[in-house]
Amino acid sequence: MTARVLVEVRGEDAARWRAALAAALPEARFVSSAEREVDYLVTWKPAADVFEHTLVRKAIFNLGAGVDHLLRVPGLPASVPIYRLSDAGMAAQMAEYAVAAVLRAFRGLDRYAASQAAGVWQPQPARERGSFGVGVMGAGVLGRAVLAALRPFGFPLRAYARTARAIEDVHVFGGDDLASFLSGCAVCICLLPATAATRDLFDARTLAWLPRGGHFVNLARGELVVDADLVAALDSGALASATLDVFRTEPLPPDHPFWHHPRVTMTPHVAAITLLRESSEQVAAGIRAVEAGAEPPGRVDRARGY
């Protein structure tokens, strides 16, 4: 029997996704939302009522690494496995972005930009590389790619992971070691998933565990950060800068203080853009695996939220 696949993507990208997925999986039958039963749902931020009119038999594929939006959809079937994108070209992009943020902090490029704006010629002393610790929160596919990209620069690397693991040339922390981990981060790069346990994780207390003059980089989800507490840490000089690609509300409201804060660098959720061809090929391979009775990568643990 030919697998029936429903692509549920809202907005102007819907047709592009359907075409790319159909090209990557020509043996499947792609159906419309009028179909009451499907074998596979391929989706990104589906409509709230999608499971009221669609019964999914075999699996749900999420067109992104984060599944927090999907897990909140009413009626999400408990017995159907969910698979998320595990890389699909995102790891290289995330590594590029993270390396750029770290090097900007290490070389003091924000200070030089401020000097230029003020018309001041003011060389800064060189920093000691061996004391400039860089920490990555989250040691999954994306986190390990970031750590690997940073390794050639010679910074002391550390990682914080829920599950203890060994990573070459990286000091790995976990469990109750968050304060110890943060205390050695001249730059902290957040790549944690959005779960009940991580929501509002970066508040006044945890931000204070970073060294004075440290740099905070959030490439995960905006819900992990208490915005007012981050602004206060920047205003006081406790933190030198924040590089933010994700926000609680997207697009960011025009009156939000991040827009014009002199110590904030913002980008509109572009650190790792989902790539159409690579993602479609990964989903196609996953559906073929399920059809063959195998287990694709990227299965979501609902209890953990990722």
Task: Write down the residue that tokens 């945890």 correspond to.
Answer: 206
Measured CA to CA, the distance from residue 191 to residue 193 in angstroms comes to: 7
* Among the listed residues 239, 250, 163, the one whose alpha carbon sits nearest the alpha carbon of residue 207: 239
Measured CA to CA, the distance from residue 51 to residue 303 in angstroms comes to: 20
Q: Which residues of 160-177 are buried (b: 16+ CB within 10 A; e: fewer)?
A: bbbeeeebeebebbeeee
Measured CA to CA, the distance from residue 194 to residue 211 in angstroms comes to: 24
Residues with a catalytic annotation lie at 221, 269
Q: Where are the alpha helices (DSSP H) in the chain?
A: 14-24, 50-53, 68-71, 90-106, 109-118, 141-150, 178-183, 204-207, 227-236, 276-291
Please, is 98 exposed, middle or buried when counting C-beta atoms within 10 Å of its C-beta (0-12, 13-18, 19+)? buried
Measured CA to CA, the distance from residue 193 to residue 178 in angstroms comes to: 16
- Could you give the C-alpha distances from 7 to 20, 27, 88, 194, 261, in angstroms and in order? 11, 15, 18, 24, 40
